[in-house]
Amino acid sequence: MSGNSTILEVKDLYQHFPIDNGGIFKKQIGAIRAVDGISFTVKKGETLGIVGESGCGKSTTVRSIAQLYKPTSGEVLFHGVDLCKADKKTLLKERRNIQMIFQDPYASLDPRMTVRTIISEPLNIYNRRGLLDHKWTKDEIEDRVEELMEKVGLNKLYKNRYPHEFSGGQRQRIGIARALALNPEIILADEPVSALDVSIQAQILNLIIDLQKEMGITFIFIAHDLGVIQHISSRVIVMYLGKIMEISTSEELYKNPKHPYTEALLSAAPVPDPKVERNRKRIVLEGDVPSPDKERHGCYFYDRCPHKMEFCSCNIPPMFKAGENHEVACWLYDKEGHN
């Protein structure tokens, strides 16, 4: 990985969505705590993976980073600028460097736009406001669109076609081209391969790895498939109920998982090898993921944890160091012995 400078820093981010009582005054009676106080840093040129089950706040985290939601509290520092407090103009300028790829390639492209319009839209928006290095002419934009299409493996003759004329994998390529249009420094990829078939998924993963090698883009990559995350990322965050459970380099995490939740997650993932599958011992977690609408005073994983202690129910564990580049939020690893 090139360089070690921090490009993005998330500090104590909270994202709560209010629940109202359904009356006309929309009296607030509670909140869904989608993201409940998380902090991490992203280094330049790395791929940071975020895993977790549905409802654990992975997507909300990246959407809050991109300021698609206004975070309830906390800071998102991009090159030292706090995006949460930035005014519209600064935000527009900074957002040029933060782009997103979405999960559903069918819903994320406007069906009434041609591929050319889709890919050139970000360029046009920034060009109109004079935020690009110089005023781009129509031909320059046209050339850029063709260049991008070639880069992501689409035939440039298709630029006048509409999204419905493409398959799922090709649509995801269009989405990637759109994200690359402004030469961003960081791309937030929200489950970009979950909706695709295995053989197509491999194509898109390879494309993303190639692009990163070539252009040195930083990725935050969300997936619920542990195999995919392990393959693509250098560091991994494991989330549960809006909290970070474990952060580690991906190699270390898979070889040496510390948090009971990570262990369970890894052992639940099916492995495409019958010999391994028949002989392994699964840690099967009891019950379901609880609803995130309650304020919690203890460990967020307490209800389902196979190693829970009395102490865990009323003390939220901080991040303990469990080795180099390895942090875990579990009282089992508390060296000072508060419990």
Partner 1 sequence: MKDFDKEKVILNVEGLQTYFKTDAGILKAVDGVSFVVHEGETVGLVGESGCGKSVTNLSIMRLVPSPPGKTVGGKVIFDGKDILQMSEKELRNIRGNKISMIFQDPMTSLNPFLKISTQMIETIRLHQDVTKKEAREKAVEMLRLVGIPKPEQRIDCYPHQFSGGMRQRVMIAMALSCHAKILIADEPTTALDVTIQAQILELIKALTEKFNTAVILITHDLGVVAGMCDKVCVMYAGRIVESSPTEDLFEHPMHPYTEGLIASVPKLDDGGKEKLFSIEGQPPNVIDLPPCCPFHPRCRKKMGICQAMYPPVYHKDEKHHVACWLYASKEEIDNALKEARDVRK
Give least dist CB 217 to partner 1, A.
Answer: 15
Q: Which stretch binds partner 1 (CB under 8 A): 29-37, 62-70, 132-140, 202-210?
A: 202-210
Q: Which stretch binds partner 1 (CB under 8 A): 63-71, 106-114, 274-282, 318-326?
A: 274-282
Other CB atoms within 10 A of residue 184 CB: 19
CB 2 within 8 A of CB 44: yes
CB 79 within 8 A of CB 41: no
CA angle 8, 50, 90 (to 5 degrees): 30
CB 329 within 8 A of CB 246: yes
Q: Which stretch binds partner 1 (CB under 8 A): 3-11, 78-86, 104-112, 192-200?
A: 192-200
Give least dist CB 210 to partner 1, A.
Answer: 8
State how far the Cα of 192 lies from the Cα of 201, in Å rounded to an integer: 9
Residue 194 interacting with partner 1 (CB under 8 A): no
Reported residue count of the chain is 339
96, 151, 161, 224: which one binds partner 1 (CB under 8 A)? 224
Residue 227 interacting with partner 1 (CB under 8 A): yes
State how far the Cα of 117 lies from the Cα of 95, in Å rounded to an integer: 20
32, 113, 125, 266: which one binds partner 1 (CB under 8 A)? 266
CA-based nearest residue to 155, from 177, 127, 123: 177
Q: Which stretch binds partner 1 (CB under 8 A): 14-22, 110-118, 139-147, 259-267?
A: 259-267
Type of residue found at 79? H
77, 125, 132, 269: which one binds partner 1 (CB under 8 A)? 269
State how far the Cα of 138 lies from the Cα of 140, in Å rounded to an integer: 5
Tokens linked to 72: 């309830």
Q: Looking at beta carbons only, is 108 or 233 nearer to partner 1? A: 233
Tokens linked to 114: 């041609």
Residue 201 interacting with partner 1 (CB under 8 A): yes
Q: What share of the chain is helix, strand, coil (3-state, %, to 5)?
A: 35, 20, 40
Give least dist CB 155 to partner 1, A.
Answer: 13
250, 260, 317, 327: which one binds partner 1 (CB under 8 A)? 250
CA atoms within 13 A of residue 212's CA, in its CB half-sphere? 24
Query: What part of residues 143-182 is at the interface with partner 1 (CB under 8 A)?
Result: 167, 169
Q: Looking at beta carbons only, is 68 or 271 nearer to partner 1? A: 271
Binding characters for partner 1, 62-101, by CB under 8 A (x = yes): ----------------------------------------
The 3-state DSSP class for residue 51 equals: strand
Helix and strand counts by DSSP (H, E) for the chain: 10, 12
Give least dist CB 134 to partner 1, A.
Answer: 37
Query: How many residues belong to the site for partner 1 (CB under 8 A)?
Result: 47
Rg (CA), the chain: 21
Residue 197 interacting with partner 1 (CB under 8 A): yes
203, 263, 313, 319: which one binds partner 1 (CB under 8 A)? 203
Residue ranges that bind partner 1, judged by CB under 8 A: 53-54, 167, 169, 197-203, 205-206, 209, 224-228, 230-234, 250-251, 254, 264-278, 282, 284-285, 288-289
